[in-house]
Amino acid sequence: MITQLITKRFSPTLGIVVAAICCAVPLAPTHAQRLETTKSKTLYQVSTLPDFGGTSSGGNSINDQSWVAGYSRLVDRNRHATLWRNSLLTDLGTLGGPNSSVTWNVKNTSGMIVGISQTADPEPNGEAWSSAAFYSTPNNVGYINLGFVWQNNQMRGLAPFPGGNNGFATGANNFGQVVGWAENGVHDPTCCCTQVLQFRPAVWDTGSGDQIHDLPLLTGDTSGAATAINDNGQIVGISGICDQAVGRRTAKHAVLWENGTVTDIYPNAPAPWWNTPTAINQRGDVVGFAGDPAFVEGDVLHAFMWTREDGIRELKPLPNRTPQHVDSEAYGINEARQVVGVSCDADQVDCRAVIWDHGNTPTDLNDLKGSYSGFLALAKDINNKGEITGRAIDSMGALKAYLAVPVGRK
């Protein structure tokens, strides 16, 4: 359900679209160090990752084993979920349909990858579902879509709630808990566009036969989604109405689930749409983006960081840009509170991968990429080694998954 959230972005040089884009474990201490400033900047060695021969690939997740996961387009335009280990390419396959993808930052180090895949079964209600934005045309719609778990070189689907057809998996921790969202079979009058059925935030327990259970929504809300989980069982996501199953008014509230309760972490958000946590680290720090009152379709968003001690902190777009940058989106965070994402102008013609060190002024990763000749358009995740993955644009206009490894300071 969420995203086109991670969607449309444009190349600053070529003008092409970069489309993407409870718990038995004791909680981690919350008295972590305060936000701090840094004077020097990290330099990176950037390399493009191999693909399946199509014109688009992207890295959406990187864990502390330096496993990068995302997608790669085949020559027939279909996309397959992809894993890169030591830059070696692994096709994760599909659940029988033409497309699959790893779309969010899956942070476990236990060898489990989760994502979304089409099955071979036709979608009975004509829904586009949340997954359509992550596949290439013409086969991005028309099939039932499920969340998947890939483990021990095998992919298996995760069943939705009884009566529902579609699901979506976003993250997994080291205790076998997988989060996402899934339909429950309720025909909800707040659904819009092609969406028909209500959906709820979901947790699948892979240690108990992939049993599914839902998470509570805020009072008055009917649909929602879980987007990330840490090893303490803290889960973040959204709560709102059914709407179109790609964020928007389903993301009325940015929420945190812990110890069986749900909390609105951005109660004074400036708009009742697109308020979306995208990642949570082991300390419980959360990053994401919030909607703008003037842009109900999410054309302009505002990155944020939430910590228990300081609450919401806005992460600004790049300053002193022409055209002026007004859009910022945060997608990944590590334990050192390094945050990565994207900064764009209002028309999303100039979009650049950025890093916010400890929540401070963003830095354009293109200023830190050394001799790499491609353009870093989007940063999707960062691990505890400071390694970053995302999408770059090469000289031919193709989208390429990349890995940026810290090599020094300047």
| Nearest partner of 177 among 27, 23, 334, judged by Cα | 23
**If you average pLDDT over residues 131-138, what whole number do you get?**
95
The answer to whether residue 8 scores a pLDDT higher than 80 is: no
Return the domain boundaries, the chain: 42-409
Tens digits of residue pLDDT in 13-46: 223 233 333 333 333 333 334 444 446 789 999 9
pLDDT value at residue 390: 98
pLDDT value at residue 20: 35
The answer to whether residue 10 scores a pLDDT higher than 50 is: no
pLDDT band (50, 70, 90) for residue 87: confident
pLDDT band (50, 70, 90) for residue 358: confident
pLDDT value at residue 410: 77
Tens digits of residue pLDDT in 150-159: 999 999 999 9
pLDDT value at residue 39: 61
Compute the mean pLDDT over every residue in the chain, rounded to the nearest whole number: 91
Tens digits of residue pLDDT in 249-304: 999 999 999 999 999 999 999 999 999 999 999 999 999 999 999 999 999 999 99
What's the pTM value of the predicted model, to 2 decimals? 0.91
For the domain made up of 42-409, give the CATH fold: Methylamine Dehydrogenase; Chain H (2.130.10)
Tens digits of residue pLDDT in 179-197: 999 999 999 999 999 999 9
